[in-house]
Amino acid sequence: MSEEKKSKLLAKELFYKKTNVFEAKTAEERSAMMAFAEDYKAWLDASKTEREAVDETVKILEAAGFKKYTLGDKVNAGDKLYLNNRGKSLFAISVGSEPIEYGVRIMASHIDSPRIDLKPNPLFENDGVGYFKTHYYGGIRKYQWATIPLALHGVVTKSDGTTVKVTVGEDAGDPVLCISDLLPHLAKDQYQKTLAQAFTGEGLNIMICSSPYIDEDGEVAYDGVRLNVMSILNEKYGIVETDFLSAELTAVPAGKSVDVGLDRWLIGGYGHDDRCCAYTSLRAILEAGDTVHTNIVALADKEETGSCGVTGMRCTLLMDITANLAASFDANESVVRSNSLCLSADVAAAFDPNYPEVYEKRNSAILHCGVALAKYTGSGGKGNTNDTSAEYVGLVRKIFDDAKVVWQMAELGKVDQGGGGTVAMYISEHNIDTIDIGVPVISMHAPFEIISKADLYEAYEAFAAFCK
């Protein structure tokens, strides 16, 4: 038997090499990944808005014995609790056995995704076609949302104070809605425009109806298409046009997530950003059972628009929860925070071999190479970022390595090519060590985003190791 050369052994010992999940994991583990992805797809398809994600998750938490928690409630070790914040953000809490002064472990993701919201007064009729005026939500590339089937989701609060849920375009046989685009034959002028000019915010009008209301005498009514829309909506949901003023209605891609590729190792679907991190962290806290650490899974709203508002991560609620947990054990809240740790769980940009020019491959997340850690995000000269300390990266790295999690370190793309942020800085500003971590995504923010089942599973394993 020939011995390996010293240089080869040395290279193995000294060099960093990314691990591909397929090299690292057994056939048994690979089939566990496939099964996990099916559970995720079912939850994702039922959770197309933050409200739906909260509803679906509360069902799962209650089935697992988590009890409703209200600020001010006294808690005890072993308690499994959840706080539903206005139906749009959610906190799952598992109280650990160690003293609360040792800190809590937070896994914070978001359950809102880029989409096309209706304006408060949305309905108009133009040349016999009825439309909804829209105001897009989050960072969308507008051209991607034309000529695809759209579903309408949301809630309408009526004048009597009751709220009805609206879903159109998801059930078999349901009609869908659509934003039109030019035919190539007549797009000569459009072709000359830049992407930013060719598709405008005010141009994202959604076709909702194309026939007028017809009176009992067979005559077409005045403002007939508009009247037809309201008549159909009134029959189904009991709403009148004024009720749009107190509504949250949004157009999202219609249909379910699907496997991508002949080998079925990718999932294509709407809203992986950031529901893949929400679901994996949820599964981790559910399956951890009774733990030493106190764990909190935070599912935030409004990340895509800057984390503002009462359901965004800049709201004090997460810190209020931490303070309330501390108070339950007569502990000093600031001590609890100072010893707490956070994984800011949000998707990463996966290196796309079709667009290598915007990535710096050496420092990019590679598909199937596991969950991606990001020491910093931001843009330009690391502007607006939580830049994690070497020590905390080292601690997280050890937790993951000990649990045999396949992980990689990544930044978004080439320096000065663009950038992005997460909720990390809104948590670290409370004196909590925080690092970004997430599943790499191809075509992030598109109506049809793509992730790896293997990376999804490694995210779950990472969260499981963190909250153990």
Output 326 or 345, the one with its CB closest to Mn ion.
345
Output 301 or 433, the one with its CB closest to Mn ion.
301
Nearest to 43 by CA among 63, 25, 26, 29: 63
CB–CB of 270/447 below 8 Å? yes
- The least CB distance from residue 273 to Mn ion, in Å, is 4
> What is the pairing mode between strands 150-157 and 163-168?
antiparallel
Output 108 or 225, the one with its CB closest to Mn ion.
108
CB–CB of 81/75 below 8 Å? yes
Rounded Cα gap, residues 211 and 234, in angstroms:
16
Instruction: Give the C-alpha distances (Å, rounded to integers) separating 240 from 101, 112, 206, 320.
Output: 53, 27, 19, 39
- The least CB distance from residue 61 to Mn ion, in Å, is 22
Output 25 or 272, the one with its CB closest to Mn ion.
272
Task: Enter the tokens of residue 176.
Answer: 């869908």
- The least CB distance from residue 441 to Mn ion, in Å, is 9
Residue 414 CA to chain centroid, in angstroms?
Answer: 23
Output 227 or 345, the one with its CB closest to Mn ion.
345
Rounded Cα gap, residues 61 and 59, in angstroms:
6
Rounded Cα gap, residues 327 and 344, in angstroms:
25
Output 41 or 302, the one with its CB closest to Mn ion.
302
Output 346 or 461, the one with its CB closest to Mn ion.
346
- The least CB distance from residue 207 to Mn ion, in Å, is 27
Q: Which residue's C-beta sits nearest to Mn ion?
A: 274
Binding residues (CB under 5 A) for Mn ion: these are: 273-274, 346
Instruction: Give the C-alpha distances (Å, rounded to integers) separating 172 from 149, 299, 372.
Output: 13, 30, 37
Output 324 or 344, the one with its CB closest to Mn ion.
344
- The least CB distance from residue 303 to Mn ion, in Å, is 6
- The least CB distance from residue 445 to Mn ion, in Å, is 6
Q: Is the torsion defined by CA of 266, 269, 272, 273 positive or negative? A: positive
- The least CB distance from residue 201 to Mn ion, in Å, is 18
- The least CB distance from residue 112 to Mn ion, in Å, is 9
- The least CB distance from residue 464 to Mn ion, in Å, is 21
Output 274 or 458, the one with its CB closest to Mn ion.
274
CB–CB of 427/91 below 8 Å? no
- The least CB distance from residue 282 to Mn ion, in Å, is 16
Nearest to 302 by CA among 291, 312, 292: 312
Rounded Cα gap, residues 255 and 152, in angstroms:
11
Output 125 or 436, the one with its CB closest to Mn ion.
436
